[in-house]
Amino acid sequence: MRECGVCWYVYDPQVGDDVWQVPPGTAFDELPPEWRCPRCDSPKERFLPPREEAKETRPQTLEDVYRDIERTKMKDVPILNAALRVEAVGFQPFAGGLLGALVTPWSVNVVFFPPKGPPAPQLGRARALPAGVVTFLPQTLPGLGEVELLSLFSPALEFVDQPAAVACAQECLTLLLTPPKDEPPAPPLPSRRELFGLLRR
């Protein structure tokens, strides 16, 4: 693909160009020399590789915020698990936002970065996940605004090391994002004749 540096029209080889009657499957380098941008008439030389999508930085910022919390508010708190460190786990797009987990020395939480909208009620917001409806509690964090938390483990003293905590967080995410299996169908009820036969026995 190539993108016009003037109007940001994207030439997609799989689509071609109807204006210049370029058939699908024509690579940008195979376009005729006289070809120009069908939107703004810029020459081929003004086309650039497509701009990269903005990198998702919120999980990294979340880690930075919680490392600061560990150094300040949680310093010397007795429930800290010395085998654990702050780590964002498995973040992925979900319901217009971003869903993942966060391991810290004192807790393991599912974290949801909600899409823009009204703030969540203080008592929490019910979210429909594939596994069912759960309630996330809101928290406002510096540099991130409002995020929503679902506590999995607090404190997190049962984990022997970081890989164990990360594996557990990832497994919990997988379970939450997996629809429940259909229950096996109940056996059919006996007919009236079968019921009568059972009663006679």
pLDDT tens string 161-201: 999 999 999 999 999 998 877 656 656 655 555 555 555 55
Contacts of 67 (CB under 8 A, 6+ apart): 86
pLDDT tens string 24-69: 999 999 999 999 999 889 999 988 876 554 468 999 999 999 999 9
Handedness of CA 65, 71, 76, 78 (dihedral sign): positive
Q: pLDDT class for 160, splitting at 50, 70, 90?
A: very high
**How confident is the model at residue 96, as a pLDDT?**
87
- List, as one string, the DSSP characters of 27-43: -GGGS-TT-B-TTT--B
Buried b (16+ CB within 10 A) or exposed e, 26-51: beeeebeeebbbbeeebebebbeeee
Query: Residue type at 187?
Result: P
From edge to edge, which strands make up the β-sheet containing 2-4?
A: 10-11, 2-4, 47-48
Handedness of CA 53, 57, 59, 60 (dihedral sign): positive
pLDDT tens string 3-34: 887 777 889 898 999 999 999 999 999 999 99
**How confident is the model at residue 121, as a pLDDT?**
87
Q: Looking at the structure, give the CATH architecture of the domain made up of residues 1-52.
A: Single Sheet (2.20)
Instruction: List C-alpha distances in Å: 44 to 37, 39, 64.
Output: 7, 12, 44
58-176 homologous superfamily: [NiFe]-hydrogenase assembly chaperone, HybE (3.30.1460.40)
Task: Say if residue 113 is exposed, middle or buried (CB neighbours under 10 Å; 0-12, 13-18, 19+).
Answer: buried
Per-domain residue ranges for the chain? 1-52, 58-176
Contacts of 188 (CB under 8 A, 6+ apart): none
